[in-house]
Amino acid sequence: MPTPYIKLRLFNQSIALLLSRNVLWLLLALSLSILCLIVLSINTGSYQLSTLQVFNILFNQRSDLTSDNIVWLFRFPRTLCAALVGAMMALSGAALQNVTRNSLADPSLIGISQGAALAVVSSMMLFPDLDQSWRSMLAFCGSILVALLILVLSHSNKSSKPIRFILLGIGISAFLSAITTAFLTYGEIYRASAALAWLAGSIDAASWQDVRILSGSAVVLLPLLILGSRAMAALRFGEQSAICLGTRIDSTKYLLISCSVALAAIATSIVGPIGFIGLIAPHAARRLCRSSVAAHLMLSALLGALLVLAADLAGRSLIAPSQIPAGILTQIIGVPTFLYLLLKQKARSAM
């Protein structure tokens, strides 16, 4: 009888993964689904291009300039951006949930997205002449500052319990949202509507530069999370057990939380707040297949990519030429999921 597991050892056993066949099949199925969705996305749009024309343009047979631009400057980077943002948001959520041992942890719930939103909205209101290219940098700084604030406040000499991190995050998130709402309510009406458009979270303006930033960040941060998967697995049993298993709790936790925050901050800085992917994807991955932490991270990333790709494709084609931002669609799916998880957790704790 063949073993149901495949052992994967990399970098002189620094990374050792035990992957079940089910996980492998699921990884393969998700990868194929993403590939199909990418092909569909590149072939879909208001500008009429046949599949053959798109194929020709992609494989270096020059077409007219507009058709070339449609495929190479609009559809392709947008599609890749959607996949990368989804994967990064999902990874961020999965890592946060593992480290904090709280299944409700998500970058959009603990203030990271709200930090980005406040930084961008306040700059749009107070400095309307500021070039749009600054928005990514401001969003990134906003997210990082909020994450640092939560980390500093949640850490005390006595304890640094995960629940403290989550509760502080939710509190700061509400506080930041209130300030952002004040800016939108009392600010100049046209600036407010422009800010609202950014807050909806959309991938419509994606460029190759964005693809480079996202993929570069993913290449650096994903291996760090995979390396930390062993520590995350130990943390699943609680901090005391993890210490007994030889895990350096504080340094590992801060490294993993930093990676998680960086993933969400970079993704948000490029496309605006796309909520709940960090919540939905890890939960869906858990439900689809029991797996190790590292495999769960990979499954979450693929599911996140699939979700945002689908949301963006639906948003730009369902009622075209009107566009529904991907962030709105993910929230429509995400809010009921969040409520379901919340109720489920409440029922479990009551038992």
Partner 1 sequence: MKKTILRTLLIASVAAASALVTVQVSAKTFIDDAGRSVQIPDSAQRIATLHDSVLTIPLLELGIFPVASHGRVSASGVPFIRGSKGLTGYDFDNSAIIFVGSSPIDIEKLASVKPDLIITTPWQKATLAQLETLAPTVVLDYNKRSRSEMFAAIAEITGSQAKLAILKGRYQQQISRIKRIVDTKKIKVNVLQASKGKLIVWNSYFNLGKVLRDSGFEFPELVNNIESGERVSFSAENLQELDADYLFVTYRTDKKHTPDDAIEALEAVVPNFCNFLSACKEGRMMVMPREEASSNSFTALSIIAYNVLTHISGKPYLKNN
Interface residue list for partner 1 (CB under 8 A):
45-48, 66, 69-70, 73-74, 128, 132, 185-186, 188-191, 193-194, 197-198, 202, 204-205, 207, 316, 319-323
Closest distance of CB 75 from partner 1, Å: 8
Six token digits for residue 199: 């807050």
Residue 9 pairs with which residues in a beta bridge?
Answer: 16
Which DSSP string corresponds to 214-282?
A: HHHHHHHHHHHHHHTHHHHHHHTT-HHHHHHTT--HHHHHHHHHHHHHHHHHHHHHHH---TTHHHHHH
- CB-nearer residue toward partner 1: 30 or 211: 211
- Closest CB to partner 1 among residues 203, 267: 203
**E strand spans, the chain:** 5-10, 15-20
- Smallest gap from residue 194 Cβ to partner 1 (A): 5
Is residue 211 within 8 Å of residue 81, measured between CB atoms?
yes
CA 294 to chain centre: 17
Nearer to partner 1, 65 or 350 (CB): 65
CB of 110 to partner 1, least distance (A): 27
Provide the 10 A C-beta neighbour count for residue 169: 28
Nearer to partner 1, 25 or 47 (CB): 47
Per DSSP, the three-state class of 62 is: coil
Shortest spacing between CB 273 and partner 1, in angstroms = 15
Minimum Å distance from CB 333 to partner 1? 22
* Longest CA pairwise span in the chain (Å): 70
CB of 330 to partner 1, least distance (A): 17
Taking the complex as a whole, how short is the minimal distance between the CB of residue 293 and partner 1, in angstroms? 39
> At its nearest, how many Å lie between partner 1 and the CB of residue 190?
5
Instruction: Closer to partner 1 by CB, 208 or 237: give it.
Output: 208
- Whether the CB-CB separation of 317 and 44 falls below 8 Å is answered with yes
Whether the bond into 321 is cis, omega within 30 of 0: yes
- Cα–Cα separations (whole angstroms), residue 47 to 53, 79, 319: 12, 16, 14
Q: Which is nearer to partner 1, 169 or 325 (CB)?
A: 325
Q: Supply the DSSP string of 142-172, one letter for each residue.
A: HHHHHHHHHHHHH--SS---HHHHHHHHHHH
Q: Of 52 and 189, which has the nearer Cβ to partner 1? A: 189
Which residue lies nearer to partner 1 by CB, 6 or 320?
Answer: 320
Amino acid residing at 59: F
- Indicate the burial class of 232 (C-beta count within 10 angstroms; 0-12, 13-18, 19 or more): buried
